[in-house]
């Protein structure tokens, strides 16, 4: 395993995010900020959607994966990288590794969406499956990484990964300014809490009056319960949701330490509310949003009274959903 990992478990600075943005400029997409005036009038608020669905590999995860893997030493690049993910981080790491000329192995749950597994393999990664009910992905990855000498690329617990993720918020703030919009609230889909933490750090530096809310599925509300308890609490085993991309076990240690002091709060949504948000994304914004990426939009729609008259930005974190599952979710 990479012995240098621990020294990177700290919050990145805004300068780290700016450096990541410069490094990503020729490799990532500057994703659009969507707005629909008819929807705004209906909701009685101004809604902006940061569409990371248009990002390379179909989610924001490419930003963090590339920013980490680009900083491998020559020796580390020869060893290869390992990551754990249900799909979006998997594809991002596989793509970045391929671009940087290194080997990637991804530990994925056996119930991960088939399309995400296939795309990860197409990008050249080796896949090892684990049982979500009886094993933890971190333990499986650490064991394999130690045996084979891979460098770990975690989805959240690394300052370089978080700096890359922070470039989403950096773009969002700048795009909002170009539209003459002052961001009152940003709603961020939350699994391990990495994008939430990175967004909070960027907004703290650039728009300190902006309120940041994490949004979770009702059945996977570990961040909400952890913040209430003042310590990290896991999700009970055996629960399910259509939001596969954010079905994490427990908030990350680093991400929780950042979010604990910076979040305004945590909102939760149910699967039916997520389906309605996905359908609105298709009907009104002509964009495909996967379930886990739609929770922020779902919160904006179904808890709109809390945000009346405000400018709300929602990060649609990815669009990696298979056609059959997507059509079923939106009732087509």
Please indicate, yes or no, whether residues 187 and 251 belong to a single structural domain of this protein.
yes
As beta bridge partners, residue 152 has 82
User: What's 256's domain CATH number?
Assistant: 3.40.50.1100
Please indicate, yes or no, whether residues 249 and 108 belong to a single structural domain of this protein.
no
pTM for the predicted model, two decimal places: 0.95
Please indicate, yes or no, whether residues 284 and 263 belong to a single structural domain of this protein.
yes
Q: Give pLDDT, residue 133.
A: 83
Q: Give pLDDT, residue 4.
A: 44
Please indicate, yes or no, whether residues 187 and 312 belong to a single structural domain of this protein.
yes
Pairing of strands 46-51, 33-34: antiparallel
pLDDT at 306 over 90: yes
Please indicate, yes or no, whether residues 222 and 249 belong to a single structural domain of this protein.
yes
Angle subtended at Cα 318 by Cα 218 and Cα 94, rounded to the nearest 5 degrees: 115
For the chain, the three-class secondary structure string (H helix, E strand, C coil) is CCCCCHHHCCCCCHHHHHHHHHHHCCCCCCCCEECCHHHHHHHCCEEEEEEHHHCHHHECHHHHHHHHHCCCCHHHHHHCEEEECCCHHHHHHHHHHHHHCCCEEEEEECCCCHHHHHHHHHCCCEEEEECCCCCCHHHHHHHHHHHHCCEECCCCCCHHHHHHHHHHHHHHHHHHHHCCCCCCEEEEECCCCHHHHHHHHHHHHHCCCCEEEEEEEHHHCHHHHHHHHCCCCCCCCCCCCCCHHHCCCCCCHHHHHHHHHHCCEEEEECHHHHHHHHHHHHHHHCCCCCHHHHHHHHHHHHCHHHHCCCEEEEEECECCCCHHHHHHHCCC
pLDDT at 309 over 80: yes
CA distance 171 to 165: 11
CA distance 132 to 189: 21
Residue 3 lies in a domain: no
Q: Give pLDDT, residue 1.
A: 42
Residue 12 lies in a domain: no
Please indicate, yes or no, whether residues 122 and 33 belong to a single structural domain of this protein.
no
Who's near 210: CB < 8 A, 6+ residues apart? 183, 184, 185, 186, 203
The predicted-structure confidence for 71-111, as pLDDT tens digits, reads as follows 999 999 999 999 999 899 999 999 999 999 999 999 999 99
How many distinct structural domains can be found in the chain? 2
Residue 9 lies in a domain: no
Please indicate, yes or no, whether residues 299 and 320 belong to a single structural domain of this protein.
yes
Please indicate, yes or no, whether residues 136 and 185 belong to a single structural domain of this protein.
no
Average pLDDT across the chain, whole number: 95
Please indicate, yes or no, whether residues 267 and 132 belong to a single structural domain of this protein.
no
CA distance 110 to 117: 9
Question: Residue 188: which domain range?
Answer: 17-59+159-329
Question: What is the band of 6 on the pLDDT scale with cuts at 50, 70, 90?
Answer: low
The predicted-structure confidence for 111-152, as pLDDT tens digits, reads as follows 988 999 999 999 999 999 999 888 888 899 999 999 999 999
Q: Give pLDDT, residue 136.
A: 87
Pairing of strands 151-152, 81-84: parallel
Q: Give pLDDT, residue 312.
A: 98
The predicted-structure confidence for 195-252, as pLDDT tens digits, reads as follows 999 999 999 999 999 999 999 999 999 999 999 999 999 999 889 999 999 999 999 9
The predicted-structure confidence for 151-195, as pLDDT tens digits, reads as follows 999 999 999 999 999 999 999 999 999 999 999 999 999 999 999
Please indicate, yes or no, whether residues 176 and 29 belong to a single structural domain of this protein.
yes
Residue 2 lies in a domain: no
Residue 251 lies in a domain: yes
């Amino acid at each position: 395993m990479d012995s240098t990992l621990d020294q990177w478990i700290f919050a990145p600075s805004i300068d780290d995010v700016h450096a990541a943005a410069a490094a990503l400029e020729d490799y990532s997409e500057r994703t659009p900020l969507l707005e629909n005036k008819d929807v705004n009038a209906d909701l009685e608020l101004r809604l902006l959607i940061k569409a990371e669905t248009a990002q390379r590999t179909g989610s924001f995860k490419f930003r963090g994966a590339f920013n980490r893997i680009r900083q491998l030493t020559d020796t580390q690049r020869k060893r290869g990288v390992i990551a754990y993910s249900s799909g979006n981080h998997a594809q991002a790491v596989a793509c970045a590794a391929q671009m940087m000329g290194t080997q990637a192995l991804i530990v994925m749950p056996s119930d991960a969406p088939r399309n995400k597994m296939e795309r990860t393999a197409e990008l050249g990664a080796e896949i090892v499956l684990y049982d979500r009910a009886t094993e933890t992905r971190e333990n499986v990855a650490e064991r394999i990484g130690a045996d084979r000498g891979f460098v770990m690329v975690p989805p959240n617990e690394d300052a370089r990964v978080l700096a890359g993720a922070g470039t989403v918020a950096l773009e969002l703030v700048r795009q909002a300014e170009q539209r003459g919009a002052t961001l009152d609230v940003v709603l961020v889909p939350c699994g391990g809490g990495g994008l939430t933490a990175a967004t909070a750090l960027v907004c703290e530096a650039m728009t300190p009056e902006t309120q940041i809310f994490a949004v979770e599925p009702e059945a996977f509300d570990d961040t909400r319960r952890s913040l209430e308890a003042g310590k990290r609490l896991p999700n009970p085993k055996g629960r399910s949701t259509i939001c596969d991309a954010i079905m994490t076990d427990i908030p990350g240690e680093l991400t929780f330490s950042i979010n604990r002091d910076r979040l305004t709060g945590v909102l939760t949504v149910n699967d039916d509310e997520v389906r309605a948000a996905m359908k609105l994304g298709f009907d009104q914004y002509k964009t495909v949003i996967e379930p886990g990426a739609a929770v922020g939009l779902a919160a904006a729609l179904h808890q709109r009274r809390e945000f009346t008259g405000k400018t709300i930005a929602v990060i649609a974190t990815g669009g990696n959903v298979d056609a059959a599952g997507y059509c079923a979710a939106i009732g087509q």
